[in-house]
Structure 1
Amino acid sequence: MEDTYFVVIDDVDRLEVCQAIKREFPKDGHSSRIIVTTSMHSIAAECSSGSHVYTMQCLDKDESEEVFWGSVGQENQTPALRRASEGIIKKCGGLPLALISVANYLRRRGQTENHVAGGLTTEHCKSTACTLGDKILKGHDEFLEINRALLQCYNNLPDHDHQSCLLYASVFPRGRPININVLLRRWMSEEFAAHGTVSNEESVKSCLEAFIERCIVEPVEIKNARVARCKVHSIMLEFIVHKAVSKKFVALVDKDELVSNNGTITNVRVRRLSVQDSTKEGVDDAVCTARGIDLSVVRSLTIFGSPLLDLQDCELLRVLDLEGCKGVNNDTVLKAICKQRFLKYLSLRGTDVDHLHQKIKHLVHLETLDIRDTLVEVVPIEVIRLPLLAHLFGRFELPHGIKEEISKQSKLQTLAGVVVTEADKSFENIILHARKLRKVKICQATSYSSNSRNRWMNPRSNSPLKERFTGSKALQILSIDSSDLAKEFIRFLQAPCAITSIKLRGQLDRLPATPALRELCDLNRLLLISTGLSIEDLSALQSLPCLEYLKLAEDGHGFRGRSFVVKSGGFPSLRRLCFEAPRLPQVKIEQGSMKSLTILDLLCPDPVIPEPRLGRPWCFLQLETRLGVEGVSYLENLKEVILHHSMRESEVQAWKEEAIRHNKKPSVKRQPQPTIHAA
């Protein structure tokens, strides 16, 4: 009988260790096992070599309470104590080490102060919840072990820039997911992670990827195959908030209190100030008193759910984020904003502003302007003239008078939410002559006539704009939220075309012919929403040679037609396929198709109703009814199936049974329950 082994290797953090393990332990069939634990996704993938990777889950609320109270040893768990402990349990985020550490601390404190076992009080719980991050940061007594774990995680980051980017999460409110694009743009405005020949955008993206790779940052919302929102684990966030405060990286006013690590704060001089969920009185006490924060040196000001500060005192602002604030629609406030001559990032998203002051022309360093979810209908020409403006977000019309000369001087890269009207010469000039422009999102104006075609959208027109939309000099990313404009765009879509990503929302009457689709070799992302095309028509998209992500979505009654058939050789590059509709269409996958597909999104609450087929066994028909997809076994690289959040448990179980029979044993899960995010 051959020797067998069972080996557990804990906390592997280098790929070389995985490679050494493979060399040293021989493969001898199914008789031996190696278990490796790691906090890094790439190492898990390397060590698994096709074997099972189990992702550890944090404890849920009930399990957390059981661990906490079991460690506290408090027999009399009164409703008052349980309520007072909610803040602690929430901040621990289901991490057993954190729960046990704070429980041991509370047990000792109760015994020391009240001289009896189980002498815990509600005051103990509330004060500990408020100061938990500070206690972990200092690492005394019961918190020494968790301090070492979190400090090791922080210190092992590649460099100082990564540490600064992580500390920056402290400016966002606890418990609210962070918008990824906002985070990246703010990092860039703060000039984090800018190295040599690598672009600032590439650098900050690599930082974010490193945090996700190390399980420090957790994606909480995936939208169109990309991370849309994320969060830092609760206990890690507590640690970095107090780390940031102790290093004077940020000053934080949270619920009227100026967060402190030593209890006494006088004349705080920091570059970043974040005001969260506070009243005017609390802000005045923390910021505006003689012992408060020196606003004259603050370079980044973020206000969430709190009254505005007097911006007259701010002289060096680079970043100003007023998302959701009220009282901005005031000429005094707008003029004060326009005096921030060093400003690079300005977010007025969700505020009550309805116009932009002409003095915005003084913001000569502004790179990002966000006016989404506001009442601003037309941006003044002074905005377009800003010499460094790269990203403009909102839903707005362009001003008249944008000439070719102005457009050529523009540094715009992103124009997201522009409303196009007929004979819009300003829009035409921007598209044609702003050569750095790579991402455009078009909305339709109510005045647009569906019976006429814009000169630039007429397929028989020789307008040079056609080349900017479909030629070799085309934009990279295009989104059209208009049936009329989407139809015209499809009519002249042809190769050569440099567009890499297209999103169309609105009724279409056809797709390009199959030969034309085969020539669109640069297109790797396609989203078609509410097009009204039949599912059979949409099947023609499998001719796209380099498409990596496809989303097909319909509302109302869902897709017309019966079957989405993918033939052998279809979708040769597709990595992720998403259906989103009230009802899943029949999906038939033939052998030899979608060889690269790794993720299948079936975001349809109702399963398909299969059409009767003579001669098919009853058991096979039952399987089709439960899954709605035929030929799953042919997807040889499938790793993940994501189902609608409301999918019945019996249908989820049917997919899990199918996954067990699949060679790759893909994971099956429901999509996260959608959440409503505050403005």
Structure 2
Amino acid sequence: MWGGWLPALGRKGARYILLIDDIWSVETWENIRNWLPHVKDSKGSKVIVTSRFQAVGAACSGRDGTDRLHTVNVLSEPKSKSLFDQGVSESQSNGSEKEKVHEEIWKYCGGLPLAIVTMAGLVACKDQSKTNDHYSKLNKLFPEQVARLTLEDVTKILDYCFNDLPADLKTCSLYLSIFPKGSKISKKRLTRRWISESFVTEKQGKSAEEVAEIYFNQLIRRKIIRPVDHSSNGNVKSFKVHDMILEYIVSKSSEENFITVVGGHWMMPTPSNKVRRLSMQSSGSKDWNSTKGMNLSQVRSLTVFGSQNGRLTFHSFNNRIIQVLDLEGWKGMKDKYLNDICKMLVLKYLSLRRTEVHEIPSKIEKLQYLETLDIRETRVEVLPRAFGQLKRLRSLLGGSKNPKKALKLPLEKNKEPMKALRVLSGIEINKDSAAIASLHQLTGLKKLAIYKLNIQEGDQLFKQLLSSIEYLSSCGLQILAINDEGSDFINKLDSMSTLPRYLVGLELSGKMEKPPKWIEDLNNLYKLTLSVTVLRTDTFQLIKNLPKLFSLTFTLTAGKDDRDIVDILEENKLLTDREIIVPPGGFESLKLLRFFATLVPRLSFAVTEEDVMPALERIDMRFQAFEGIYGIETLKSLQELHLSVGNQADEVTKFLVEELKDNANRNYLDDKYATKWPKIISD
């Protein structure tokens, strides 16, 4: 594999910096080094190699006396204690004796950050009265405290923390071994799979989704996983697993024959017994044959990673027992495979996301146990009538956000309601959507996301949809998103007689004239997205007292010739002397404010003795045309202002952006004003 690109480094006059991370053996390094150009030809270029093994480091520093070995020092005692205390801050006590016990525990970690934060996660999640138990057990593991832990010692600490997990959480953590090293993992992808594997079930009056959320947060608190991305409502969207923790989990999973990993980074022995859960992490065609010789008759979960084409013979598996089939991003997935997939009669989880699938066959009605169907970012445009027969389906995920595409519902209404459905996302509703007549029967629905809506006010469907949303809102609908392409439907939502009191997320996009007045009474609302056409001072007045509002977004993508949008924005500015003013007071919980629109009008934060958006930490703006933002230095909690300027921005917009950045830089140079201006980031 190295021969494909490393020789290019030796081209005449080429300079480079090459980072090769985490080499495990001297042999591997020597194979790489043979392809590198000689030091005399490097012209000041650098190769940086990292390894956890001292022998590799010695081998890397042995050529021509020009290589240097840098040993990374462990943390000092003060830094170790500080890192540990930070990790257990939620469980710190006032007693000096417990502080002393904490000190003894972090000293066993040898100054290694991974060991420190992992142990801190364990202590943070345990009853502090049992801290002495940790101390005595660690004392048996390490009779003598050492300045530097070996790899074996770190494994002992990971083993200790893993064995402390409750049984359900152990299983959920072992499941992480399905994912490749260094991958960014979707939280919802993981939790939905937990549920499909029956690792998470309803418990003590909580739904399976709520229990999965609790388990996921426990893994974060215990430092087994770390958040990477957050959604606009502040919740974790994706996460990663530290390489060394994942290595431990993969090894443990292999020992217990819990998950079998093929290809990828980990070189695990071929199982001698039956494979239960198979993770194919190969990226090249060579490794697709590495399942030869394995007994695949008992595989109940199959996951394929890698974007390259490869041949996968479903005949090797027992279709009668496969419960999870995750082919997300696999370019080898073709329509012809769906005939075999529809024979997997106990399938619970099916993800075809980002594959080349065009059509879902009517045979899908045979999958009577299916709970999750993910066909986002595929070429599937319409669902078959047989879709309505999936009575256990909990999540239907379709369409695409960028570019905006939507999934059409069946042309006929369902005879029997899909009462198990909790998430219906990415759908299109138009005059031919007869299935909308049975929407009100989905009384268990928690999320409804309509990516495209195009019906006329006089149509029967218009009344049916409005009535259905009102009824579902009274039944517990929590997230509602509607992208109205011109039907004027979102302007009729104010006529609803029942308050959608359970909503925690609301997104209304289109040519909205004014937001529904009932928004001001949504005391549980956490995330609100409104069309930029209602970007007015009175809109801020309407929503400023929402107690839990965390994220507020104004958005709309208008075409070049969409003069209606421009006219509406001009009228909005005339209401308040040609600028939008964010008034003081309220917004006690708001931390994220976003403006995603072709044109963002002049925006000013009121300068008064009363605080304006006192908790606001970040502003995001994406636009082609921009008329300026003023008063941001008065926002006491604001940390960052992100500006994304479109390629077609005019000179006035570019000038205003540069002026804003210059003002921020000048204030940073003056200590008197250094704390008043946020960091400004633009692209």
Give TM class, smaller chain. 0.5 to 0.7
- Note closer, same or farther for the CA distance 1:414–1:196 as it changes in structure 2 (3 Å cut): closer
Residue 599 of structure 1: how far off its partner (Å)? 3.1
Aligned AA (1:191): S
- Note closer, same or farther for the CA distance 1:65–1:115 as it changes in structure 2 (3 Å cut): closer
Residue 297 of structure 1: how far off its partner (Å)? 1.2
Residue 424 of structure 1: how far off its partner (Å)? 2.9
Aligned AA (1:201): E
Aligned AA (1:587): S
Q: Is 1:313 equivalent to 2:313 in the alignment? A: no
Q: Is 1:586 equivalent to 2:597 in the alignment? A: no
SS in 2 for 1:526: strand
Q: Report if aligned partners of 2:288, 2:311 keep a CA contact under 8 Å in 1.
A: no
**Aligned residue in 1 for 2:370:** 366
Residue 365 of structure 1: how far off its partner (Å)? 1.1
**Aligned residue in 1 for 2:416:** 406
Residue 269 of structure 1: how far off its partner (Å)? 2.4
Residue 205 of structure 1: how far off its partner (Å)? 1.2
Output aligned runs, 1:42-121, within 5 Å: 79=36, 89=50, 101-102=52-53, 104-107=54-57
Tell me, in whole angstroms, the C-alpha distance in 1 between the residues paired with 2:465 and 2:278.
53
Residue 179 of structure 1: how far off its partner (Å)? 1.7
Tell me, in whole angstroms, the C-alpha distance in 1 between the residues paired with 2:554 and 2:390.
38
SS in 2 for 1:349: coil
TM-score between the two structures when normalised by the length of structure 1 = 0.67
**Aligned residue in 2 for 1:301:** 302
Question: Which runs of 5 or more residues in structure 1 are unaligned?
Answer: 1-60, 69-73, 90-98, 122-132, 134-138, 611-624, 674-679
**Aligned residue in 2 for 1:435:** 443
- Note closer, same or farther for the CA distance 1:363–1:672 as it changes in structure 2 (3 Å cut): farther
**Aligned residue in 2 for 1:19:** none
Tell me, in whole angstroms, the C-alpha distance in 1 between the residues paired with 2:452 and 2:508.
12
Tell me, in whole angstroms, the C-alpha distance in 2 between the residues paired with 1:605 and 1:628.
19
Which stretch of the first structure deviates more once superposed, 308-317 or 553-562?
Answer: 553-562
Tell me, in whole angstroms, the C-alpha distance in 2 between the residues paired with 1:170 and 1:462.
44
- Note closer, same or farther for the CA distance 1:570–1:201 as it changes in structure 2 (3 Å cut): same
Q: Is 1:349 equivalent to 2:353 in the alignment? A: yes
- Note closer, same or farther for the CA distance 1:570–1:117 as it changes in structure 2 (3 Å cut): closer
Q: Report if aligned partners of 1:457, 1:489 keep a CA contact under 8 Å in 2.
A: no
Q: Report if aligned partners of 2:520, 2:542 keep a CA contact under 8 Å in 1.
A: no
Residue 550 of structure 1: how far off its partner (Å)? 1.5
Tell me, in whole angstroms, the C-alpha distance in 2 between the residues paired with 1:222 and 1:115.
45
Tell me, in whole angstroms, the C-alpha distance in 1 between the residues paired with 2:677 and 2:208.
35
- Note closer, same or farther for the CA distance 1:606–1:399 as it changes in structure 2 (3 Å cut): closer
Tell me, in whole angstroms, the C-alpha distance in 1 between the residues paired with 2:374 and 2:178.
18
**Aligned residue in 2 for 1:478:** 480
Aligned AA (1:518): E
Tell me, in whole angstroms, the C-alpha distance in 2 between the residues paired with 1:652 and 1:317.
58
Tell me, in whole angstroms, the C-alpha distance in 2 between the residues paired with 1:520 and 1:399.
33
- Note closer, same or farther for the CA distance 1:363–1:554 as it changes in structure 2 (3 Å cut): closer
Aligned AA (1:347): S
Tell me, in whole angstroms, the C-alpha distance in 2 between the residues paired with 1:334 and 1:63.
43
Tell me, in whole angstroms, the C-alpha distance in 1 between the residues paired with 2:579 and 2:451.
32
Tell me, in whole angstroms, the C-alpha distance in 1 between the residues paired with 2:642 and 2:554.
15
1:184 corresponds, among 191, 196, 201, to 191
Q: Is 1:567 equivalent to 2:577 in the alignment? A: no
Q: Is 1:172 equivalent to 2:176 in the alignment? A: no
Tell me, in whole angstroms, the C-alpha distance in 2 between the residues paired with 1:462 and 1:378.
19
Tell me, in whole angstroms, the C-alpha distance in 2 between the residues paired with 1:655 and 1:426.
59
**Aligned residue in 1 for 2:642:** 643
Tell me, in whole angstroms, the C-alpha distance in 2 between the residues paired with 1:533 and 1:246.
59
**Aligned residue in 2 for 1:602:** 620
Tell me, in whole angstroms, the C-alpha distance in 1 between the residues paired with 2:283 and 2:21.
33
Tell me, in whole angstroms, the C-alpha distance in 1 between the residues paired with 2:663 and 2:20.
32
RMSD across aligned positions (CA): 4.5
- Note closer, same or farther for the CA distance 1:504–1:660 as it changes in structure 2 (3 Å cut): farther
Q: Is 1:339 equivalent to 2:343 in the alignment? A: yes
**Aligned residue in 2 for 1:283:** 288
SS in 2 for 1:170: helix
Q: Report if aligned partners of 2:482, 2:508 keep a CA contact under 8 Å in 1.
A: yes
SS in 1 for 2:398: strand
Tell me, in whole angstroms, the C-alpha distance in 1 between the residues paired with 2:335 and 2:625.
52
Tell me, in whole angstroms, the C-alpha distance in 1 between the residues paired with 2:394 and 2:212.
17
2:243 corresponds, among 200, 209, 234, to 234
SS in 2 for 1:406: coil
**Aligned residue in 2 for 1:31:** none
Q: Report if aligned partners of 1:495, 1:519 keep a CA contact under 8 Å in 2.
A: no
Residue 414 of structure 1: how far off its partner (Å)? 0.9
Tell me, in whole angstroms, the C-alpha distance in 2 between the residues paired with 1:319 and 1:671.
42
**Aligned residue in 2 for 1:378:** 382
Q: Is 1:417 equivalent to 2:426 in the alignment? A: yes
Tell me, in whole angstroms, the C-alpha distance in 1 between the residues paired with 2:386 and 2:56.
59
SS in 1 for 2:275: coil
Residue 391 of structure 1: how far off its partner (Å)? 0.5
Which stretch of the first structure deviates more once superposed, 591-600 or 377-386?
Answer: 591-600
Tell me, in whole angstroms, the C-alpha distance in 2 between the residues paired with 1:672 and 1:639.
16
- Note closer, same or farther for the CA distance 1:363–1:273 as it changes in structure 2 (3 Å cut): same
Render the CA deviation track for 1:253-297: whole Å, top value 9, x for unaligned. 225x8x444xx535452321111234444222x11x22xx22111
Residue 166 of structure 1: how far off its partner (Å)? 2.6
Question: Which runs of 5 or more residues in structure 2 are unaligned?
Answer: 1-15, 24-28, 70-113, 115-141, 143-147, 400-406, 561-565, 646-656
Which stretch of the first structure deviates more once superposed, 495-504 or 191-200?
Answer: 191-200
- Note closer, same or farther for the CA distance 1:372–1:607 as it changes in structure 2 (3 Å cut): closer
Residue 150 of structure 1: how far off its partner (Å)? 4.2
Query: Percent same amino acid among aligned pairs?
Result: 25
- Note closer, same or farther for the CA distance 1:65–1:361 as it changes in structure 2 (3 Å cut): closer
Render the CA deviation track for 1:90-128: whole Å, top value 9, x for unaligned. xxxxxxxxx5x43x23245689xx99999999xxxxxxx
- Note closer, same or farther for the CA distance 1:64–1:373 as it changes in structure 2 (3 Å cut): closer
Output aligned runs, 1:390-539, within 5 Å: 390-395=394-399, 396-403=407-414, 405-407=415-417, 409-422=418-431, 424-429=433-438, 431-444=439-452, 448=454, 452-457=457-462, 464-465=467-468, 467-468=470-471, 472-473=474-475, 475-485=477-487, 486-492=489-495, 496-498=499-501, 499-513=503-517, 516-529=518-531, 531-536=532-537, 538-539=539-540
Render the CA deviation track for 1:385-438: whole Å, top value 9, x for unaligned. 1121111111322223324x412x531111111111116331121x21121112
Tell me, in whole angstroms, the C-alpha distance in 1 between the residues paired with 2:225 and 2:682.
17
SS in 1 for 2:353: coil
Tell me, in whole angstroms, the C-alpha distance in 2 between the residues paired with 1:494 and 1:660.
54
**Aligned residue in 2 for 1:200:** 208
Aligned AA (1:443): Y
Render the CA deviation track for 1:518-550: whole Å, top value 9, x for unaligned. 344443321124x33344354344355345131
Aligned AA (2:303): T
SS in 2 for 1:297: coil
Tell me, in whole angstroms, the C-alpha distance in 1 between the residues paired with 2:271 and 2:203.
39
Render the CA deviation track for 1:337-368: whole Å, top value 9, x for unaligned. 11212211000112222222222222111100
Tell me, in whole angstroms, the C-alpha distance in 1 between the residues paired with 2:327 and 2:581.
49
- Note closer, same or farther for the CA distance 1:480–1:119 as it changes in structure 2 (3 Å cut): closer
Tell me, in whole angstroms, the C-alpha distance in 2 between the residues paired with 1:667 and 1:241.
46
**Aligned residue in 1 for 2:139:** none
Q: Is 1:273 equivalent to 2:278 in the alignment? A: yes
Render the CA deviation track for 1:449-481: whole Å, top value 9, x for unaligned. 56x5443535xx897435226x63463211112
SS in 2 for 1:176: coil
**Aligned residue in 1 for 2:229:** 221
Q: Report if aligned partners of 2:367, 2:390 keep a CA contact under 8 Å in 1.
A: yes
Q: Report if aligned partners of 1:341, 1:362 keep a CA contact under 8 Å in 2.
A: yes
